[in-house]
Amino acid sequence: MVMSDTIQKVFLSTNYKRGIQYISIGTAIMLALSYACYDIFWLPPRRIRHIPHWKYTNFFIKTFFRKASLQEKIKQSADIRDGLNLRPDRIGWTIHVSSPSGVKTILSKPDVFVKAFNKADNKKTIYERFVGGNNLLLSEGEDYKRLKKVTNITVNPAFRRPVPIQLFGRMTQRTLQEIDQMGGKQVDMTDLCNRLTLDILGKAVFDFNFDATGDPHNEWTHVYKSIMESMSNKLFYYLPFLDQGKWLWLFPKRYQAHQNLTKFLNMLSEMISNKRQTIAANHEEGTRNDLLSLMIDSELNEEVDGLTDEEIMENLCIFFFAGHETTANAVAFIIYNLAKDQERQEQARQEVLHHLGDAPEDILPTLEDAMKLTFINQIMKETMRMYGPVSGISPRITTEDTFIDGAFIPKDTFVSVSIFRLHHNEKVWKSHNEFIPERFSPEGEFDQFTNEGIQWAPFGSGRRQCIGMNFSLFEQKVVLAMLLRKYTWTLPEDSIHKENVVTSGIITVCPKELRINFERRY
Ligand code: HEM
């Protein structure tokens, strides 16, 4: 009996010890696994962890749950050291650069910092289906060279000088009529500018009248609007796996947006083949000015390989994506700035009246008129500094080990320029939160900068600079000149933007529902 008790005790204590051992080993494995998960999923890869970085949790909480105003975001940006900041992004951990020297390094070395978007990988989400093709914005290498050659022939006449200034004027006139029809009160200028630039682009890109200004609820405007809205949905932007076939049944609205995109792409495809037929039937060359006709015409040019229908479509899409909301948002932000700064609004008006006269009728500015509007030019530049309609350039990937501002950046790292933070970098811009157009006057603050860095880049810079820059600048000028001649405007008393501008959007940023009160001058 005594003997068996002793054996039992020994046995129990051995089991107990073993149990403790198992628990300890299990706990150690759990801890190691948790740490590995934390290390892999929560922190940036070790090879770039020396760059100041956000924590994944912080990023997601700030992105999805906290509605920071633009001014708060600017404050957050002040925390970022050295102009380099690493954060999780749609394509993975990405270094966002906002120092003039760092920005110059990236934009002046397009062979080291190449476009990172992998077009072949994923053509299932709305974003990739619409803009992920072999297009001018995202392609690289030989593909890009070929596209650039074609667009040098087509875009130059369609989008550079001479820009279709009469078209800008005619379309703006319809917007003025709509403001009048609404009685000028509480006019949603975010929406109106969006519709105006859509109509302009529709005509310039493929000679199509969306009629978004005359009939905002028509089918094509509705379809296009739903695509654009779906592109700025944060959930699907940051978690693209949800935006694909097997998950879509969970999101009926998203499913509908996919259907609308299919409809839009079919319409483009039909338009391309119709245009081909018309061009073949008419034979006359040089009389067509829309981008689509010029792209088809370029096939006759022996110096370039013509584009396939698919390539033409992918590039038409990118012209819409890059050229529509960007200009609309730029104009909306200018209207906001001038509503808040009545003195400069009047100064701008006097400049327009000086060059276009004060007759009580709409005057469509000519190219020569537009070029004389120097103060308005400063207002446009300053507004694009404060509220760049594009928050950053499309991501690049490094093709070799390199350095930005002395920090080591290994090969295969994603890098982008944060245009927004560059333009609010306190080390560069005095009183960066204030609207001071005179910064861009001759010998103003901007003129004093050295060319050791790039301080202002709403359109990017270098080899991949925006191809529609001139088009957009003249479009903005015409719209503003015509608005200034016809109206004075203010923010309504109950405006949500009274203190600070409230914005929305991810890639392109706009003032949210900017309501304006207009007073007619004639
Ligand atoms: C205020 C208006 C606009 C802004 C702020 C803007 C901004 C930009 C920026 C920052 C880039 C460079 C992207 C990068 O480096 O990754 C870019 C490129 C581009 N933009 Fe714009 N853009 C505007 C208007 C337009 C318009 C009106 C069009 C055409 C209709 C257009 C077409 C393009 C294209 C095709 C590219 C790619 C150029 C290339 O890589 O060779 N943009 N734009």
Q: CA–CA separation, 359 vs 379, rounded Å?
A: 24
Ligand 1 is surrounded, with C-beta below 6 A, by: 136-137, 159, 318-319, 322-323, 326-327, 330, 389-390, 393-394, 458-460, 464, 466-468, 471-472
Burial of 184 (0-12, 13-18, 19+ CB in 10 A): middle
On the question of pLDDT at 129 being above 60, the answer is yes
Q: What is the reported pLDDT for 477?
A: 97
Distance 412 CA to ligand 1 centre (A): 25
- The structure tokens listed for 480 are 């503003």
- The structure tokens listed for 495 are 């405006």
> What band does 428 get if pLDDT is binned at 50, 70 and 90?
very high
* The 3-state secondary structure of 433-472, one letter per residue: CCCCHHHHCCCCHHHHCCCCCCCCCCCCCHHHCCCCHHHH
Distance 225 CA to ligand 1 centre (A): 20
For the CA of 475, the closest atom of ligand 1 is 27
Distance 325 CA to ligand 1 centre (A): 11
Distance 486 CA to ligand 1 centre (A): 30
Identify the CA nearest to 323 among candidates 205, 236, 238: 205
> What band does 225 get if pLDDT is binned at 50, 70 and 90?
confident
Give the lowest-confidence range in 233-247, 251-265, 475-489: 233-247
For the CA of 471, the closest atom of ligand 1 is 27
Computed over every residue of the chain, the mean pLDDT equals 86
pTM for this predicted structure: 0.89
User: What residue's CA is closest to ligand 1, atom 13?
Assistant: 393
Give the lowest-confidence range in 135-144, 375-384, 413-422, 441-450: 135-144
Identify the CA nearest to 144 among candidates 123, 109, 114: 114
The model's pLDDT over 484-500, given as tens digits with 9 standing for 90+, comes to 999 999 999 999 999 88
What DSSP assignment string belongs to 109-131? Answer: -TTTEEE---TTT---SHHHHHH
Q: Tell me, what DSSP letter sits at residue 53?
A: B
Higher pLDDT, 276 or 260: 260
Q: What is the reported pLDDT for 92?
A: 85
Distance 177 CA to ligand 1 centre (A): 30
Q: Positive or negative CA dihedral for 319, 323, 325, 328?
A: negative
> What band does 43 get if pLDDT is binned at 50, 70 and 90?
confident
- The structure tokens listed for 35 are 């740490």
Buried b (16+ CB within 10 A) or exposed e, 394-428: bbbbbeeebebbebebeeebbbbbbbbbbbbbeeb
Tokens 């950046």 locate to 409
> What band does 120 get if pLDDT is binned at 50, 70 and 90?
very low
On the question of pLDDT at 358 being above 60, the answer is yes
CA distances from 280 to 65, 274, 277, 457 (A): 55, 10, 5, 42
Q: Three-state DSSP class for 404?
A: strand
Q: Three-state DSSP class for 305?
A: coil
Distance 158 CA to ligand 1 centre (A): 15
**Substitution candidate for ligand 1 out of 163, 466, 470, 477 with most atoms within 8 A of CB:** 466
Higher pLDDT, 412 or 76: 412
- ipTM, two decimals, is 0.99
Q: What is the reported pLDDT for 76?
A: 58
On the question of pLDDT at 300 being above 80, the answer is no
Residue 415 and residue 404 in contact, taking contact as beta carbons nearer than 8 Å: yes
Q: What is the pLDDT averaged over residues 226-232?
A: 87
On the question of pLDDT at 159 being above 80, the answer is no
Query: What are the φ/ψ torsions at residue 427 (nearest 5 degrees)?
Result: -75, -15
On the question of pLDDT at 70 being above 60, the answer is no
Contacts of 113 (CB under 8 A, 6+ apart): 106, 107, 396, 397, 398, 399, 415
The model's pLDDT over 301-352, given as tens digits with 9 standing for 90+, comes to 666 677 888 888 888 888 888 888 999 999 999 999 999 999 999 999 999 9
Identify the CA nearest to 389 among candidates 227, 511, 497, 514: 511
Q: CA–CA separation, 223 vs 213, rounded Å?
A: 15
Q: Could you tell me where the beta strands, DSSP code E, fall in 285-435?
A: 396-398, 402-404, 407-409, 414-417
Q: Positive or negative CA dihedral for 262, 263, 266, 272?
A: negative
